[in-house]
């Protein structure tokens, strides 16, 4: 069995090309050498780690301590909003849920 036949579907990868100025490329190559990995592996790891950090930062909500306390106070003791209560009653009467 050839090596290609042994690869799982998850092992497939996409090609990703980047153009860099010579000085930037040399610095990335040096960082890869210092990390003990080849340029492709260094680039892949760095790119994925940075992408995950950015996604996490944008998907996380951070509140100041005073806002944090207010937020959980509101969730734990919601106040009734008459218009919303009326709308929910109308919905229950007018809409048949499945």
Find the length of the chain. Answer: 98
* Chain position carrying tokens 């892949």: 44
Sign of CA dihedral 58, 64, 66, 68: positive
Residue 14: pLDDT over 50:
yes
Where do the domains of the chain lie?
Answer: 18-94
The whole-model pTM stands at 0.54
**Across residues 3-27, what is the average pLDDT?**
79
pLDDT tens per residue, range 27-72: 999 999 999 999 999 999 999 999 999 999 989 888 898 898 888 8
Instruction: Give me the architecture of the 18-94 domain, per CATH.
Output: Up-down Bundle (1.20)
Q: Which residues contact 29 (CB under 8 A, 6 or more apart)?
A: 39
Distance CA 56, CA 60 (A): 6
Q: How far is CA 31 from CA 21, 58, 61, in A?
A: 16, 28, 33
């Amino acid at each position: 069995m050839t090596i290609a036949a042994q690869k799982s579907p998850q092992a497939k990868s996409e090609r990703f090309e980047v153009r860099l100025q010579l000085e930037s490329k040399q610095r990335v190559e040096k960082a890869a050498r210092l990390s003990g990995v080849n340029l492709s592996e260094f680039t892949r790891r760095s790119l994925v780690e940075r992408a995950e950090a950015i996604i996490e930062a944008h998907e996380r909500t951070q509140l100041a301590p005073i806002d944090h306390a207010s937020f959980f106070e509101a969730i734990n003791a919601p106040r009734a909003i008459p218009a919303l209560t009326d709308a929910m009653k109308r919905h229950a009467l007018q809409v048949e849920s499945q």
